[in-house]
Amino acid sequence: MAGGFAKTMDSFKYAGKLRPGRLSPTRKVPRSIQLPDYAKDGRPKATGPLLPWQVEVKNAGDIEGMRIAGKVAREVLDVATAMIEPGITTDDIDAVVHEETIKRGAYPSPLNYCGYPKSCCTSINEVICHGIPDSTKLKEGMILNLDVTCYIGGYHGDLSEMILVGEVDDAAKQLVKVTHDCWEAAIAYCKPGAPFKGIGAIIDDHIQPYGYTSCTQFCGHGIGKVFHTTPNILHYRNNEPGKMEVGNVFTIEPMICEGTGRHLEWKDKWTSTTKDGRRSAQFEHTLLITPDGVDVLTPRTANSRPFWWEE
């Protein structure tokens, strides 16, 4: 079955033009790499705090571990984004993410997490999140979210960015820029004592003048020794309890849609697209609450692929 926009015999009612491609064999991890608890059987064991308003306060050792994991994840994402251009496949991207992660002594966190088959997520156009790398070829005019998480020293570092594939239309550029700016505004809001619910309000206020919607089915999350834990970071106006404390670590990763924020899950049980087939964009950082505000643990560097407005 061909990837990309090729016709298939699949009877599933897709919302947009994208179709699944062929999966390559599962990539191997050397025995020398420390594995997360789900790596062999796909079942996460550690849960972190059990109640949604209970948020772990990281100690100095945890924070140092998180900084290392964030740095490794950033390095891997930067190498992978540099190769993205029309004609390569999303599986080509996954191969580089896998190789670069292993090269740094880390484990690609998505691999076999609840059965996920690949080492990163590649979400194109109408795919909101969890797009599985396969034989799909990138084409001029696509927009792509690359989501990378690396596990090293017992900690996960998580981030994602949008990449424009060749020349894209102005509407796509606006969607990506507005998503980036609402994300940055939400990060700037974070500090000790700030209610978690304020993140969603800032995002909603920023995107509504453009007619965009924030996907409500997926959220940011606490992270550390556990890949996904409390708090749930909702990217829309909400009444979730809890306030930020020094030592909290979590992601903000708004998924902003041109049309409806409702999603359609593909038969693979992972790929989630907009229900109307229109495009979606997302950015993500891992963040630490400090006495002075917020510290980005996955910051962009001189090696990061420039956004078009920076070129």
What share of the chain has pLDDT > 90, as a percent? 92
Q: Does residue 2 register a pLDDT over 50? A: no
Structure tokens at 36: 């997360």
> What six digits make up the tokens of 61?
């050792």
Alpha-carbon gap, residue 301 to 304, rounded angstroms: 5
Q: Given a cut of 50, is residue 3 above it in pLDDT?
A: no
Reduced to 3 states (helix: H, G, I; strand: E, B; else coil), residue 273 is: strand
Cα 262 to Cα 128, 164, 203, 237, 272, distances in angstroms: 10, 23, 17, 16, 10
User: Is pLDDT above 50 for 1?
Assistant: no
pLDDT tens per residue across span 5-26: 444 567 899 999 999 999 999 9
Condensed to tens digits (0 to 9), the pLDDT of residues 250-262 reads 999 999 999 999 9
38 in any annotated domain: no
Find the CATH number of the domain harbouring 210. 3.90.230.10
For residue 28, being part of any structural domain is answered with no
Q: Residue 50 — very low, low, confident or very high, per pLDDT cuts 50/70/90?
A: low
Fill in the amino acid letter for 118. K
What type of residue sits at position 85?
E
Mean pLDDT for the stretch of residues 43-54: 80
Residues in contact with 253: Cβ distance below 8 Å, sequence separation at least 6, in sequence order: 160, 183, 220, 233, 235, 282, 283, 284, 285
* Predicted pLDDT at 273: 98
What pLDDT digit, counting tens, does each position of 300-310 carry? 999 999 999 98
Position 50 in a domain: no
The two tokens of residue 301 are 């560097």
- Please, are residues 293 and 190 in contact by the beta-carbon 8 Å criterion? yes
The H or E element containing residue 76 is helix 60-82
Supply the pLDDT for residue 144.
Answer: 98
* pLDDT > 70 fraction of the chain, expressed in percent and rounded: 96
| Mean pLDDT within 114-121 | 98
The residues pairing with 195 across neighbouring beta strands, listed in sequence order, are: 243
| pLDDT at 115 > cutoff 50 | yes
- Asked whether residue 275 is assigned to any structural domain, the reply reads yes
Asked if residue 41 has pLDDT above 90, the reply is: yes
Is there a domain that residue 29 lies in?
no
How much is the CA Rg of the chain, to the nearest whole Å?
18
In this structure, what token pair is assigned to residue 277?
């087939």
Per DSSP, helices labelled H in 190-302 are 197-207
CA 304 to chain CA centroid, nearest Å: 16
Span 41-69, mean pLDDT? 90
The answer to whether 281 touches 146, Cβ cutoff 8 Å, is no
pLDDT digits (tens, 9 = 90+) for 122-168: 999 999 999 999 999 999 999 999 999 999 999 999 999 999 999 99
Q: What was the pLDDT predicted at 310?
A: 86
CA pair distance 268, 136, nearest whole angstrom: 15
104 domain residue, yes or no: yes
CA distance 197 to 217: 16
Residue 294 in domain: yes
Give the number of other Cβ atoms within 10 Å of residue 155's Cβ. 29
**Across residues 206-212, what is the average pLDDT?**
98
CB atoms within 10 A of CB 238: 17
Q: Using CA atoms, how far apart are residues 91 and 227, in angstroms rounded to an integer? A: 23
Contacts (Cβ under 8 Å, ≥6 apart) of 300: 74
Q: Residue 110 sits in which domain range? A: 60-310
Residue 292 neighbours by CB distance under 10 Å: 9
Assigned domain for 44 exists? no
Residue type, 137: K
Burial class (CB in 10 A: 0-12, 13-18, 19+), 5: middle
pLDDT at 243 over 70: yes
Name 130's bridge partners.
none
Q: How many separate domains does the chain show?
A: 1
Q: How far is it, in rounded angstroms, from Cα 278 to Cα 77?
A: 26
165-200 pLDDT, tens digit each: 999 999 999 999 999 999 999 999 999 999 999 999
